[in-house]
Amino acid sequence: MTADLIHLRRLGVSVVVEVSAGVPVIVHWGRELETIDRDSILSSVYLPKQPGGVDVTAPVAVVPQHGEGCFARPGLAGHRPGGRHFAPRFSQPVVEVSDYGFVFTSRDLAAELSLCCQFELRESGVLAIKATVTNNGTNRYLLDTLSITLPLPNSAEELLTLTGGWAREFSLHRQSFLHGAWTSENRTGRTSHEHPPVVWAVQANANEWHGEVWGAHLAWSGNHVLLAEVLSDGRKYLQLGELQMAGEICLEPGGSYSTPEVVATYSQNGLTPASWGFHRSVRANLPKFKNSPLRKVLLNTWEAVYFDHDEEKLKQLANLAVRVGVERFVLDDGWFAGRRSDKSSLGDWWVSPEIYPNGLAPLISHVRNLGMDFGIWVEPEMVNEDSELFRQHPDWALVSPDYEPVRSRNQLVLNLTHEPAYEYVFSKLDKLLSENEIAFVKWDMNRPHVQATLQSGAAGTHEQTLAVYKLIDQLRAVHQSVEIESCSSGGGRIDHEILRRTDRVWTSDCIDPYRRQKIQRGASMFIPNEVMGAHIGAEKAHTTGRSHSLEFRAISAVFGHLGLELDLTQCADTELELISQIVAWHKKFRGLLHTGDAVRFDCEDASQISHGVYSKDRGEALVSVVKLTETKQGEESQILRLPGLDSELKYCVIKFDSNFSASHNVGEYTGQQLSTTGLKLPLMQPETGMIFHLLSI
């Protein structure tokens, strides 16, 4: 570093930060730099005086300061009583530098605030930033926002975002980024199905393997706001932060607020290599799977029995599950209190004496004796009004007492910031896990926050989110061997912060394989395959009513954390045999599937979708190609090009047939040939697919 420039550098990426002013300014985030041309690198962010502007054009800092004359959205906004000090201006920086990061602290003596910014360029290749504001005054400071801002070069001409809805998560949307502003605001109290907190800025026409890309994700499980803006002078930036409701964050004297962590990734070689930074970041922080990444094949009972629990039927299901190779049996909703539909009993977390008169022990023992472990579904953050808990404690709901609550799915949110409610839920879950041999918990959250109100009357989503983190952390500390899945009506709560304390996510309530191909592709842009729950469902999909072959259902599931979610007792012996072959295939290759680099490919035919996994040493690969829809009559077979392999290695290519047994040897190709000439694909029917296995020779 020089006196005022800090250069953070990892393979393929450099981050240069100017630290002489009151807030750090990122002057380069992109390709790796051997040396720094100081004048050139500063000229891109420190512009000359603009006609009609203020005397000094303020840079777009990590926390832009309106008080300095920066006309980007302020990174910190708030005020003291009476509206005083609404636009703070920080100075007097103190910098503490480490090997791959630094901590920057500055103060505003007039506003009596201090600001701390933490930077780290991690081994994963991601840049991680968070900021903290502290009230050093003697009265309250009402904080409206504290966000992290990342400047972008002019060459970032397009934006890629993920959109969607329930059962349609992670749809990719692409738009130009040449003027004006794009913003996404989420007020659902979770990361949401509609607006997951991730955004990509890319060069024009960048794709999976070509062009510079800059990606940013807010690691936070509550409300958020994302912004991408082109200022009138042409400068561009991304801004990510928690969306705070009016009056939600009030800093008492000595109080502090820290932003969620922003993780940012860069590649000059397209979206797929950039995604690896996000994937490595998740893998580095997973609670249980750093040293043993392989995931057990599970069966979830939901779409097999729904609420119709019968102990003997479940034992039959378990018998067939172990026959086809399942390693974990997960009992979904319907096992507790009077829960016979979604209208009652949330909050009454004790085993139903009517359905299970001897508790869960007989079913768990049956499952364990078969060689499987046992999992269970819970929804601890919610309460039904038709429940013993609500009848005794109606004041424990996270609602405003001044208004009739807005209901969803016959349930309300339980106020976990209220200590008695928190202790009640913890004690019930602790008892459930202590008294039963449970290895896995599917943790659901099936409704958004609406007018979430603390007992103080203030907005409560921020505190509720922290309380959920605390509850999961406390349970994990006591029950360290238990794995936890984050589910929120499917993919409604998926982010890197929840994945610091959970082991997998339920990607979507929709397991229609046609939709899943696109859902999982979108999710793979910021989370790795092995954390994505991917199930083989029934022939007729529960959410869409469409029917698909078992082979197509399987090819859409085997690249993730594989599960089954269908009634095996209704399957013919031929179907059970094929499922057994599919599970065996997955187990054979999950060492690669759960540790390799996920790859996506740009298909010449828009009706096709292709993805795969490369081993880290590039000696092995699995690649899936699926035909989703019809194309024009007379279409010739297509070419699939596979960039990113070792160009010098020669690979033997095997194509698997529809029942996942080896079909035939396609041939031998160098990595260079596979990248440039590619594989010629046979003609395919809609909603069918194939898998290629590449092995270096």
The token pair at 123 is 């081994």
When pLDDT is averaged across residues 218-243 and rounded to a whole number, the result is 97
Mean pLDDT is lowest, of 286-290, 407-411, 422-426, 495-499, for: 286-290
Q: Is the pLDDT of residue 287 over 90?
A: no
**What is the C-alpha to C-alpha distance for residues 295 and 411, in angstroms, rounded to an integer?**
33
Structure tokens at 317: 């299901």
Using DSSP, how many helices (H) and how many strands (E) does the chain show? 12, 37
Q: Is the dihedral of CA 29, 30, 31, 37 positive or negative?
A: negative
* Gap between the Cα atoms of 338 and 255, Å rounded: 44
Active site residue 4: no
E strand or H helix at 265: strand 261-267
pLDDT average, residue stretch 241-245: 97
What does the pLDDT read at residue 291?
61
Q: Which of 108, 333, 509, 605 is catalytic?
A: 509
pLDDT band at 637; cut points 50, 70, 90: low
Query: What Rg, from alpha-carbon coordinates, does the chain have?
Result: 26
At 595-636, the pLDDT tens digits run 999 999 999 888 999 999 999 999 999 999 999 998 766 566
Contact by Cβ (8 Å): 526, 170: no
Measured CA to CA, the distance from residue 273 to residue 176 in angstroms comes to 22
CATH of 599-696, one of 1.10.3720.10, 3.30.70.960, 2.60.40.1180, 3.90.226.10: 2.60.40.1180
Catalytic choice (332, 348, 373, 444): 444
Range 81-92 average pLDDT: 94
* The residue count for the chain: 697
- Is residue 662's pLDDT more than 80? no
Q: Which residue has the tokens 């609404």?
A: 86
Domains of the chain by residue range:
5-285, 298-380+422-446+481-591, 599-696
Domain 5-285, CATH 2.70.98.60 — does that match?
yes
Q: What is the DSSP letter of 404?
A: P
3-state class (DSSP) for residue 669: strand
Which residues, other chains included, contact 684 with Cβ-Cβ below 8 Å and sequence gap of 6+? Answer: 608, 625, 627, 690
User: In this predicted model, what pLDDT tens digit does every residue of 663-690 receive, in sequence order?
Assistant: 789 999 999 999 999 999 988 899 999 9
Examine the pLDDT at 1 and tell me if it is beyond 60: no
For residues 517-530, average pLDDT: 98
**Separation CA 18–CA 33 (nearest Å):** 15
- Retrieve residue 420's tokens: 């008695």
Q: Per-residue pLDDT averaged across 488-499, rounded? A: 98
Query: What is the Cα–Cα distance from 31 to 214, expressed in whole angstroms?
Result: 10
Percent of the chain with pLDDT over 90: 92
**One fold for 5-285 and 599-696:** no
The answer to whether 610 and 587 have CB atoms below 8 angstroms apart is: no
Mean pLDDT, range 1-20, rounded to an integer: 90
**What is the predicted pLDDT for the residue at 290?**
61
Mean pLDDT confidence for 243-266: 97
* 8 Å CB contact between 275 and 170: no
pTM of the entire predicted model = 0.97
Three-state DSSP at 97 gives strand
Q: What is the three-class DSSP state of 680?
A: strand
Average pLDDT over residues 246-256: 97
| 21-65 tens-digit pLDDT | 999 999 999 999 999 988 888 887 788 777 887 888 899 999 999
Q: Is 35 helix (H, G, I), strand (E, B) or coil?
A: coil
- The per-residue pLDDT for 656 is 94
Residue that is written with structure tokens 């296995």 in the block: 693
- Which candidate, 480, 497, 400, places its Cα nearest to that of 441? 480
Going from the C-alpha of 30 to that of each of 240, 264, 428, the distances in angstroms are: 18, 11, 49
Share the mean pLDDT of the chain. Answer: 95
348 is catalytic: no
pLDDT, tens digit, 9 for 90 and up, residues 103-128: 999 999 999 999 999 999 999 999 99
* 348-357 per-position pLDDT tens digit: 999 999 999 9
* The pLDDT of residue 663: 79
State which CATH number among 3.20.20.70, 3.30.70.260, 3.40.1010.20, 3.40.50.11270 fits the domain covering 298-380+422-446+481-591. Answer: 3.20.20.70
Contact (Cβ atoms closer than 8 angstroms) between residue 316 and residue 304: no
Tell me the C-alpha distance between 14 and 24, whole Å: 16
Angle, alpha carbons 687-689-694 (nearest 5°): 165
Angle between helix axes 461-478 and 419-435 (nearest 10 degrees) is 30
Convert 72-95 to b/e letters by CB count within 10 Å (16 or more is b): bbbbbbbbbeeeebeebbbeebeb
Residue 443 has pLDDT above 70, yes or no: yes
Mean pLDDT across 261-274: 98
Distance between CA atoms of residues 18 and 34, nearest Å: 17
- Phi first, then psi: what are they for 455, rounded to 5°? -65, -20
